[in-house]
Structure 1
Amino acid sequence: MTRQVLLLNSDKPEVIAALARRPDLTVRVMTRKVYADLYRGLEVAYVDDFADLTQVEQAAYDLAAHGPLDHVVAATEKSVPAAGLVRSLLGVPGPGFGPSLWGAHKRAMKDRLLAAGLPVTDYAQAATVDDVPRAAEHTGWPVMIKPVFGAASKCTYRVDSPEEFGERHGAGDFADLADRRLPVQVERLVRFTHEYHCDGVVHAGEVARAAVSRYFLPPLRVAPHLKSGYVADQTDPFSREVLDLHRRVVAALGLPFGVTHLEVFRTGTGPVIGEVAIRPGGAGISRMWWHAFGVDLWEEFVRVSTGEPPSRPDRAPRPDTTGRSRLPALPGLRERVLALPGVLEVLTPEECASPGHLEAYFTCADETAAEAFIGRLHETAVPTV
């Protein structure tokens, strides 16, 4: 029996491909008109922005007029609350609007985690950018400021003091954040030694599989084309602590299904949760998982989002350390990197859907070797790094 799926997406090709491989699913789409060419031949309703819930409501009713829906799949961070609203309006199984906020709204998320006794940094919500100093009186300086809805570190700033804030705000440094016209999340800066992420697959409210990885450099400290990392030793005591933290986060959010991307800071007093997203991680993380574990996180995302159990990998995990690195798409660089021992593949900008970037995947003997190899890749790509 064919099931009806409503996909809320932008241009993420992985979920489009995963759904297209499923003859048992008929897909309708809610997206922006700029992505119309990706969905030719499908029933599509357009919105200007998933944050405009009035448009989302009307688009949902327009699509539902073609028949009942069995599943709603939110493939982007912005679309998570919109998908929750659609489920609530149309009576589709899955998280409704309220619970969906816990996976997307930064203050609502932290409220939920804090209530469950999980480690988060001090935070407060500012009504506008102008209101940041008042909120920072609660958290203390220095702070990170960001929109309550957002992804990929966009409109995110570190500010060390009220004096610095006043000077930079007066100079228009936070204009893009102010233009979002959203409340602002103000968080006390976390002093950390390393940043990790734990990615997992959740089915029937339980973590079916999960693994901890480490960023080579935290995303906010490195140019976007050099985002790198590797799968951590899962038997390491800190990795085991993060895996348990991930399980507790899933329980605190009441997540019935999904693929998770939890970011965790390692500090002198233990782990501190950064954020959690209810979708596969970007910048090559899903592909790294495929190389390491034989698991395609986007395929798993589609499976659990449509009520199916996770798949069983057709091979054992790699015994060595698998890593990834984003690199600039410079002439001849792909060929030079492919020639290095241990490189598994290097995707072109077209293959990884990241204009101007390559994505390299490799294996090394252990984490120390992975760190050295990523450093070598960066030196090869940008000698001045």
Structure 2
Amino acid sequence: MSQRVRDVLVVNRRRQELVTRILQDPSLRLSLVTEPGCLPDYPDTAGMESVTLVENVQNLDEVRHATLDLMNRYTFDAVVGPAESSIPTAGYLRSYLGMPGIPFDVAHAFCNKNAMKARLRRAGLTVARCTLVPSAESVGPFLRKHGLPTVIKPAWGDGAANVHVVRDESDIAAISRPDGPLLSNDEAPFLIEDFVEFEDEYHCDGLVRDGEVRFVSVSKYTRPPLRGKGSVFGSHTLPADGDEARELAELHGEVVRAMGLSDSVTHLEVFRTRDGLVVGEIACRPGGGGIPQTLRRAYGFDVWEHFLATELNRPLEWTPDAAEGIFAFLMFPVRPGVVRRVPDPDVFADFPEVEKVDIKIGPGARISGMLYSTSMAGMAHCRVDSVDRIPGLVSALEKRFVVEYEDDEPEPRPEPTP
């Protein structure tokens, strides 16, 4: 007896991982809702059942009308939103249509940082003091009222993109300009948060089923994402039986309960301060950078496969299979400019700790636009036998991996010998 083909509505800008997996599954039929400027990112629209363009995937009413029109032809079994830009919209459609999956109020709280912090604070969890900035004109006055130093960021967004530290009046003047780094890249509302002085930053990546955390991996950043821009940046797993990992796993469970999440994967950011742990942010989607590959190598956990299974509301049997060692990924940064030379893939051939190297750019690549914490020239996937080995390895690989740009000053040539 053949399996029934299920119609899946995907609301998405540019995230491709789930789109690729759905297109490869013969039991699924994909209908896409995206924006005109994002369409060139899709290599296989011919394999889709339908493609609908909207001006903004975050416009709930526009996407609702587009979906109702599609429902004249299709009976959708699931709605999928793979990134912050579309997770709330997918939740809204599920709530509006009475479909299974993350409902709108929960999806919205995971993606609107102000709503997220309010929910966590009400549950008694420690988060940074914050202020919502309702309009672009209010940025300067609200920063002064909140007090410095502080961090300002879009209320909607992911990664460390367009996140700025504001320390003094000159920073306020720069951030408040319409053509400045904040307002030229995003629209209000913005969120102001106390600048948290912390010692270490962690991420917890989990699987939640029926409201229970079925799996969680705890990792520590080699450098905090906000500080890691422009330098080698990544993270490494922590031994699951250690006190550090157990403490963070317990906090992860408390955050999941506070957010009201029933079924999804999670990516939680946590700071360790002198006064204890402070919750940064949590997402109900896979972490970025090398996190998915690290989870697969360390535990056999395919985080995108499990995310898709929760989005489709279908069971997926899996048991963690922890491999020996400490697993790490390191991303080597890029900067604006035209690339002249990148290292060869065998740049770390003499480092047995490096199991794989992915080179992401090549000579002639033009780097421009907003750079994220995950913008990179290449990535190294490593395994060591102890957490103590990580700092030395990071330092050695950072010195070895050098990207040259067309505008770099040429190295001085030695004077000829008389």
Shared fold, TM over 0.5: yes
Counterpart in 1 of 2:329?
324
Correspondent of 1:49 among 18, 37, 56: 56
Q: Does 1:263 align with 2:283?
A: no
- Pairing 1:35-114 to 2, within 5 Å after superposition: 35-36=39-40, 37-38=42-43, 39-42=45-48, 43-114=50-121
Counterpart in 2 of 1:344?
355
Whole-Å separation in 2 of the counterparts to 1:138 and 1:228: 35
How much does 1:186 deviate?
0.7
How much does 1:364 deviate?
0.4
RMSD: 2.4
Post-superposition Cα deviations, 1:157-192, rounded to whole Å, max 9, x if no partner, equal: 11123x234432466574543663321101001110
Q: What is the SS of the residue equivalent to 2:29?
A: strand
Runs of 4+ in 1 over 6 A off after TM superposition: none
Instruction: Supply the AA of the counterpart residue of 1:371.
Output: P
Whole-Å separation in 2 of the counterparts to 1:356 and 1:98: 34
Counterpart in 2 of 1:211?
217
Are 1:122 and 1:139, in contact at CA under 8 Å, matched by a contact in 2? no
Whole-Å separation in 2 of the counterparts to 1:346 and 1:307: 35
Change (3 A) 1:238 1:328: closer
Counterpart in 1 of 2:395?
375
Change (3 A) 1:222 1:333: farther
How much does 1:119 deviate?
1.0
Q: What is the SS of the residue equivalent to 2:47?
A: coil
Are 2:120 and 2:258, in contact at CA under 8 Å, matched by a contact in 1? yes
Are 1:123 and 1:185, in contact at CA under 8 Å, matched by a contact in 2? yes
Whole-Å separation in 1 of the counterparts to 2:191 and 2:72: 38
Correspondent of 1:168 among 174, 177, 186: 174
Whole-Å separation in 1 of the counterparts to 2:149 and 2:333: 32
Does 250-259 or 332-341 show the bigger shift?
Answer: 332-341
Q: Provide TM-score, normalisation by structure 2.
A: 0.84
Instruction: Supply the AA of the counterpart residue of 1:35.
Output: L
Greater fraction helix:
1
Instruction: Supply the AA of the counterpart residue of 1:341.
Output: P
Counterpart in 1 of 2:242?
236
Query: Which segments of 5 or more consecutive residues in structure 1 lack a partner in the other structure?
Result: none
Does 217-226 or 256-265 show the bigger shift?
Answer: 217-226
* Length, aligned pairs only: 379
How much does 1:133 deviate?
4.9
Change (3 A) 1:136 1:234: farther
Correspondent of 2:292 among 286, 309, 314: 286
Correspondent of 1:364 among 379, 384, 400: 384
Counterpart in 2 of 1:201?
207
Change (3 A) 1:333 1:228: farther
Post-superposition Cα deviations, 1:1-21, rounded to whole Å, max 9, x if no partner, equal: 222221222333322232234
Q: What is the SS of the residue equivalent to 1:112?
A: helix
Query: Which segments of 5 or more consecutive residues in structure 2 lack a partner in the other structure?
Result: 335-340, 362-373, 405-418
Q: Does 1:10 align with 2:13?
A: yes
Whole-Å separation in 1 of the counterparts to 2:377 and 2:234: 12
Are 1:227 and 1:283, in contact at CA under 8 Å, matched by a contact in 2? no
Whole-Å separation in 1 of the counterparts to 2:351 and 2:329: 14
Whole-Å separation in 1 of the counterparts to 2:322 and 2:28: 30
Are 2:166 and 2:172, in contact at CA under 8 Å, matched by a contact in 1? no
Whole-Å separation in 2 of the counterparts to 1:380 and 1:148: 38
Post-superposition Cα deviations, 1:249-296, rounded to whole Å, max 9, x if no partner, equal: 111111121111100001111110111111101111101111111111
Post-superposition Cα deviations, 1:114-148, rounded to whole Å, max 9, x if no partner, equal: 01111101011111243235544664321100111
Q: Provide TM-score, normalisation by structure 1.
A: 0.90
Does 150-159 or 124-133 show the bigger shift?
Answer: 124-133
Does 269-278 or 326-335 show the bigger shift?
Answer: 326-335
Does 209-218 or 84-93 show the bigger shift?
Answer: 84-93
Q: What is the SS of the residue equivalent to 2:151?
A: strand
Q: What is the SS of the residue equivalent to 1:346?
A: strand
Post-superposition Cα deviations, 1:52-89, rounded to whole Å, max 9, x if no partner, equal: 22322222223322222121111111111111121123
Q: What is the SS of the residue equivalent to 1:100?
A: helix
Query: Percent identity over the alignment?
Result: 31
Instruction: Supply the AA of the counterpart residue of 1:106.
Output: K
Are 2:132 and 2:192, in contact at CA under 8 Å, matched by a contact in 1? yes
Which protein shows a greater Rg? 2
